[in-house]
Amino acid sequence: MDAHSKPPHGTSAAAEPASRIDSLLTRFAAGDTTPEAAWAQAQQAATDPRAAHVLIRHFEAPATQSAGALGGTPVTVKDLFDVAGSITTAGSKVLLDGPAAAAPAERDATIVARLRAAGAAIIGTTNMTEFAYSGLGLNPHWGTPANAAGSALDEGLPRVPGGSSSGAAVGVALGVGLAAVGTDTGGSVRIPAALNGLVGFKPTARRVPMDGCLPLAASLDSIGPIAHTLADCLRIDAVLADAPLRPTPPAPGQIRLLAPTTVVLDSLDETVAHAFEASLARLQAAGVQITRAPFAPFADAALAAQGVIAAHESFQWHAPLLARAAAAYDPRVATRIAGGAQISALDYAAALTARRRWQDAVQAGLQGFDAFVMPTVPMVAPPIAALAEDAAYFAANRLMLRNTLLFNLLDGCAISLPMATGGLPAGLMLGAPALHDEALASIGLAAEALLAVACSTPSR
């Protein structure tokens, strides 16, 4: 990527999708509805049978709040964030009861405090893969929220929601809040957003403080929003980061995207492959400059560093809990975390060094382009029943995380936008190096308008 941090100013060829948060705030101001009514509507949505298992806990209605950047907007937060007076379970039963039970949080996580200060009405905490350790979203303790789009198309065939922020995405798709806050260590915001036809934004990690958030792998973790439009994601991000981005969508002809052909296009299912080609064609027809080319760093053995770092850092945090309550874990999660015990300090240090070298190679290879473009995930949401066997589960999990984890290893920023499919949703991912969030958001707004895909759950 060039040294400039923001693409040239211009205007997009199409209007940006309307912000649902802005619309709600306008209705509040006009007296057309009230924060209390919006809260009640979100709570009613949570009782929809398709929303089963979306929330781990519901909160009582807050005092009327119409001030602030989000005044009265219903949102949810992932069950990794401390909420004063509640136990942060991270989708587990380990921390809820038994020998490793945690005490209720004494104070809100920083991002929860910031949401409250901005006037957000926090509906509850959302379900997730236990301890955030999977991109599929299954949870044997609290139940798995079924993919919202899949339920609309065939309620009798529940599909994976994507993880680990599973309840976050399904909740937004079904109206349990206009936006959700999740975490993203290898794709856990972007994957469920893509599979449910929503927008997911993974900011540069250092922009949003992790205080009061239970970690998965501290050097890969980041916090980001899921919503119906990128404008809504950016509204939430401004509160989370306490530093709003000020994107200016460039004219299509000023956007230069690199579409790598190495690894990230392997094993695409037919729906994703067709939607990706159609999306690129639409962007190019509008004037966006897209270069397809091999990209050697995406086939580099250094990519293994992501798994080494995640396993080592996760095991360091979980070792005491595993020693006391391993039997209470999801066996699939416990197996992956326990594998970190085999990683030595020397192996971990080598992985960190490999990561830095790989980051340099990626940034060098992106010179002359504004961002990468690729499918967010290689497949639409598979049926939950198809993952009953461990071999199928772990194979699907690896494939689901393959593209998204690149930007966690890069310590970069990335956006997943919906692509038109005519059926189960798929995502188009734009990504860039660290602290290029504003430039990426500018490109994302332009691309979202050009693709013109409404984020909605298909009607039955």
Cα–Cα distances in angstroms (integers) from residue 155 to residues 148, 150, 209, 384, 438, in the given order:
9, 7, 38, 12, 39
DSSP 64: P
Return the structure tokens found at 176.
Answer: 């349990």
Sheet of strand 199-202, all strands in order from the earlier edge strand to the far edge: 55-58, 121-126, 74-78, 179-183, 223-227, 199-202, 413-419, 426-432, 371-375, 256-260, 289-293
**For residue 157, what are the contacts with CB-CB under 8 A and spacing of at least 6?**
150, 383, 385
| Residue with token string 């967010």 | 376
φ and ψ at residue 313, rounded to 5 degrees: -65, -40
Active site (catalytic) residues: 78, 164, 188
- The three-class DSSP label of residue 95 is coil
State the number of CA atoms in the 13 A half-sphere of 121 facing the CB. Answer: 29
Interstrand relation of 223-227 and 289-293 (parallel, antiparallel or unpaired): unpaired
Element (H, E) at 418: strand 413-419
